[in-house]
Amino acid sequence: MSQKGILIVFSGFSGAGKGTIMKELTKRYSHTYALSVSATTRKPRLGEAEGREYFFKTQEEFEKMIEKNQLIEYARYVENYYGTPRAYVEEQLNAGKDVILEIEIQGALKIKEIFPQTLLLFVTTPNAAMLKERLIGRGTETMDVISARLKRAWEESQGIENYDYLVVNDDLERCVEEVHSIICSEHKRVARNQDFIRNLREELCP
């Protein structure tokens, strides 16, 4: 069966658990998935490392990347730039990996426009109270930034219908397996297996 890599967008409200889920998913299935590392002008959080969570850039450096067409997409999110470096994504897709972009909704819509076959997943907490609780519990942002992110969550919730699947991050273990199983099913779509079908037909041809 042909196993070309799928481009996957993984979005969700800040604090919904995107980073936590991706870390676990890529650890469990390290040969299957390649997680794209974005560039950002946001300052590193405690424990974040250059080139692991993000490539941390100054505004000037980021704008140079835009000029040189080194980003597939980029967006502004709560006063910072975030963007997806082009080279890694193309390289990993060509190598047959499923490439995951953990990006916000404006970027997701741009990716869908450029690559219509992209699989779009949206993750949320079971309810809004739990989202606030997790954002506060993470302890990485000031209350002002948390408020801005919660306001942004309301705006982003208006765009959920643009996605293919909605995943609820209640129990982490179940959620990680659910994401993996959605992606596995996506590989079985007839539309994604045209080469296999063509070969089969050639073999069957009397």
Binding site for ligand ADP (CB under 6 A): 12, 14-20, 134, 137-138, 169, 172
Distance (Å, whole) CA 13 – CA 85: 22
Q: Nearer to ligand 5GP by C-beta: 31 or 142? A: 142
Q: How many Å apart are CA 191 and CA 118, to the nearest integer?
A: 12
CB of 70 to ligand 5GP, least distance (A): 12
State whether the Cα torsion 130-160-171-118 is positive or negative. negative
Number of residues that bind ligand 5GP (CB under 6 A): 15
> Does residue number 107 form part of the binding site for ligand 5GP (CB under 6 A)?
yes
Of 140 and 194, CB closest to ligand 5GP: 140
> Six-digit token pair at 103?
């990006």
> Nearer to ligand 5GP by C-beta: 62 or 98?
62
- The site partner of 134 among ligand ADP, ligand 5GP, none (C-beta below 5 to 8 Å per kind) is ligand ADP
Interaction between residue 102 and ligand 5GP (CB under 6 A): yes
Q: Which range in 87-95, 101-109, 128-136, 195-203 contacts ligand 5GP by CB under 6 A?
A: 101-109
Of residues 39 through 68, those in contact with ligand 5GP by CB under 6 A are 42
Whether 18 contacts 108, CB under 8 Å: no
Contacts 24+ apart (CB under 8 A), 155-161: 156/11, 156/13, 156/104, 156/105, 157/13, 159/105, 159/109, 160/122
User: 18 or 112: whose CB is closer to ligand ADP?
Assistant: 18
Task: In whole angstroms, give the CA distance from residue 177 to residue 153.
Answer: 25
